[in-house]
Amino acid sequence: MAAPTRSAPEERLVNLLVALMATDQGLTKDTILASVAGYREQSESGASKDALEKMFERDKESLRGLGVPIETIGDYADPDDLREARYRVPNDEYGLPEDISFTPAELAVLAVAGGVWSERSLSAEARSGLRKIRALGNDVDEPILGFSPRLSVRTPAFAPLQRAMEQSRVVSFPYLKPGEERPLVRRIRPLALVDYESRWHVFGFDLDQHAERTFLLSRIVGDVTITRETFDPALRDGAGDRAVAGLDELAARQRALLEVNPGTEASLRLRRRAQPAEQGIFVPYVDVHVLADELASYGPEVRVVEPAALRDEVIRRLQATLALHADHDGEPA
């Protein structure tokens, strides 16, 4: 029997929260254990049902301890009968009142603050309020995914870029675009750092291209150099809004037609930002390579109908994964 797969508890909690927010009717425990990432891999690796149920109960109580209102729904004929209980997060109890709103700039500041502050320094009431703030700025019951992203060693460019923005200084960095063999050094006036589709971008004025440009932080492949050249701080005014508007406009022009297996993790995540299509769903996207990475991670749960370029990129990633596992299978133990 294979050893149970280990997954980060935080990631499993987020997946559980997304699933419970994505349902109006509620999900049974069996459905959760069989379909939600974190539990599903444990089940497929041979973990016992008793162990999985105990894990779910601990996770459920952890979320409740963080202020997430998880509702338990019993049998309609006998509400006290919880043998086939269903669970959900009622969105009307999770969000802030409708008469409270924030501008995109205010939401960006709150998101960054929520990611940087350690929750240990906040009271239970403050943590609950912060989580409600994170739920703003999205359509209806959009799940908490990509809000208030934490800064980590995976985005080492963030700190120097933030410092350069505060000092209104020009920066340079090596930037590697997909398909290119060598990075190019870009020189920009950094005007805004924005989180879009769960990924950090820096928006600024490219001094070599003489135009505003947006760059993925994950494609900065070396150190960010802060130069002595300064620029007018007033150039930052409204930069965040312009950056998000530009990304929104690009996503509106690019749509992927996907077929997604119902009841899967791919369905839960993709349908939240999709539009229905006759053959499947339309999902807007900004970067074909970023979307290909996500779709490939779902494996057989999703199929790309069009565009062909996206389909080819997903196939290439799946073939690379298959080849990697084939190589490992051939190695001695």
Going through 131-218 in order, the beta strands assigned E by DSSP cover: 169-175, 184-196, 199-206, 211-216
Query: What topology does CATH give the domain 158-235?
Result: SH3 type barrels. (2.30.30)
C-alpha dihedral, 252 to 255 to 258 to 263, nearest 10°? -10
pLDDT in tens, the chain (333 residues): 444 444 566 778 888 888 888 777 788 888 888 888 888 878 777 888 888 888 888 888 888 877 788 888 875 555 555 667 888 888 665 555 556 666 655 555 555 555 544 344 344 444 444 444 444 433 323 332 333 333 343 478 888 998 999 899 999 999 998 888 899 999 999 999 888 876 889 999 999 999 999 999 989 999 999 999 999 999 998 898 899 899 989 988 999 999 999 888 888 888 888 889 888 999 999 889 989 988 998 889 999 999 999 999 999 988 888 887 665 555 544
The position carrying tokens 């007033």 is 234
Tell me what pLDDT residue 134 has.
Answer: 43
CATH 1.10.10 is right for the domain spanning 9-90? yes
Element (H, E) at 125: helix 124-134
Tell me what pLDDT residue 333 has.
Answer: 40
For residues 262 and 220, give the distance between their C-alpha atoms in angstroms, rounded to a whole number.
36
Greatest distance between any 2 Cα atoms in the chain: 72
Tell me what pLDDT residue 65 has.
Answer: 74
Q: Report residue 327 as tokens.
A: 């190589």
Instruction: Classify residue 225 as exposed, middle or buried by CB count within 10 Å of its CB (0-12, 13-18, 19+).
Output: middle
DSSP string for residues in 137-159: SSSTT--S-SSSPPP-TT-TTHH
Domain ranges of the chain: 9-90, 95-148, 158-235, 254-329
For residues 82 and 73, give the distance between their C-alpha atoms in angstroms, rounded to a whole number.
8
Which three-class secondary structure state does DSSP give residue 123? coil
Going 47 to 49 to 50 to 56, the CA torsion angle's sign is positive
